[in-house]
Amino acid sequence: MKITKLTPNFEVTDVKQTVAYYEENFGFKLVMTVPETQSEIEQSFAEDKKYVYAMVHKDHIEIFFQCSDTFKEDVVFSQGLSIGASVSFYMDIEGIEKFHQLMKEKNLQVTDLKTTWYGMNEFYLKDLNGYILGFAERAG
């Protein structure tokens, strides 16, 4: 077996709201979305529709967002579990000090920026669905 890619699929309460949050705060772009009817794939959101799935992309990262009801149908092991995670999604970035300051200015829930014993400057952020995102840059 050869693994060629890892893409997190986040269970979310509102797909449109979550995509807007990731676009506004982290610069992700919508790639595609699926309306509640699950009858087609769309490249943008319509005002009058509810959506059950979306894919966003930035640089080398893709993330899927799937609304709770269809997520729990598809990923049966998630039934009975709450949204959010006891896992963090750790991303290497460039320009961490400026990015950390920007996230603080937006009043997002972030930890302090610190240099770790293993040589990384890093901080963690909790998103609107309770997922923990880690951002890191090699120190020095």
Distance from the Cα of residue 114 to its chain's centroid: 22
Is 28:14 a contact under the CB 8 Å cutoff? no
Same domain, 76 and 31: yes
Confidence of residue 56 (pLDDT cuts 50, 70, 90): very high
- Contact between residue 137 and residue 92 where contact means Cβ atoms under 8 Å apart: yes
What Å distances lie between residue 13 and 10, 30, 62, 112, CA to CA?
A: 10, 17, 19, 28
Token code pair at residue 110: 């972030």
Sheet containing 9-12, strands listed edge to edge, beginning at the edge strand earlier in sequence: 9-12, 61-67, 51-58, 29-35
Per-residue confidence band for 85, with pLDDT thresholds at 50, 70 and 90: confident
Q: What is the CATH number of the domain that holds 46?
A: 3.10.180.10
Q: Mean pLDDT for the chain?
A: 94
Please tell me the pTM assigned to this model. 0.90
- 4-27: average pLDDT: 96
Domain residue limits at 60: 1-80
Calculate mean pLDDT across residues 99-128: 95
What pLDDT sits at residue 77?
A: 87
Overall domain count for the chain: 2
Q: Where a domain ends, among 29, 51, 80?
A: 80
Q: Which two tokens stand for residue 103?
A: 């996230």
Q: Are residues 105 and 59 in the same domain?
A: no
Per-residue confidence band for 57, with pLDDT thresholds at 50, 70 and 90: very high
Residue 1 has pLDDT above 80, yes or no: no
Is 54 in contact with 64 (CB distance < 8 Å)? yes
Looking only at the bridges linking them, the beta strands covering 61-67 and 9-12 are parallel
Residues 16 and 76 in one domain: yes
Rg, Å, the chain Cα set? 16
**Residues 26 and 69 occupy one common structural domain:** yes
